[in-house]
Amino acid sequence: MYYPAIIRFVGILGILNGALLTMGIWTGVSSVYLHLFTIPFSALCLFLIEKTGSSLGSIMSGWNPGRADYREQFSAELEKIKYSKRMEHFDDALRLVNELLHKDPDFPDALFLKAHILWEGFGNSEASKGILKRVKQLVPEDETLHRWASIYYDEVDKRMKDRQAQ
């Protein structure tokens, strides 16, 4: 598979080579020297076109790569944790979520997963409820994760009371 940057480079090289060859024919200059000049000139043009296009694209779209959410880098780790939990490998899931929380102790998504793992895998309702309280503190009330944490907290509490009543 060819990368778009390589295809653009070869295209620009061809266009500039043709333009310089035409200039050489018009001016009577030997085309060997013009061909040697074409490669660095094409690289310079490609660099300028790429930088200009990237800058204009960033300005027009309003995207700033410096402002990206650093927690997005944890998406693969979250998926591993979810997979381990789904496969009921709760020890692995707990180890992975603890490693992630070591990097970012106040990451609400990871805390929510840890609450699930502690309750579903280990039956630890008190620790699960404590973590869910923390998630509700970290996340604004109008966000979905806050509502999920509230619902799950009530569910854990109800199931715990049902177990104690039996």
Residues 6+ apart with CB under 8 A from 125: 119, 156, 157, 159, 160
Is pLDDT at 117 greater than 70 in this prediction?
yes
DSSP state of 73: G
Q: Give the number of other CB atoms < 10 A from CB of residue 109.
A: 19
- Hey, where are the domains in the chain? 4-62, 71-165
Q: Which tens digit of pLDDT belongs to each residue from 32-83?
A: 555 566 666 666 666 777 777 666 666 666 655 554 466 777 888 899 999 9
Distance CA 162, CA 166 (A): 7
Determine the average pLDDT of the residues in 8-13: 68
Q: Give the number of other CB atoms < 10 A from CB of residue 165.
A: 6
Determine the average pLDDT of the residues in 25-34: 54
Residue with tokens 């199931």: 159
- Please give the residue that has the higher pLDDT: either 85 or 3: 85
Distance CA 41, CA 75 (A): 42
Distance CA 138, CA 149 (A): 11
Q: 71-165 architecture in CATH?
A: Alpha Horseshoe (1.25)
Percent of the chain with pLDDT over 70: 61
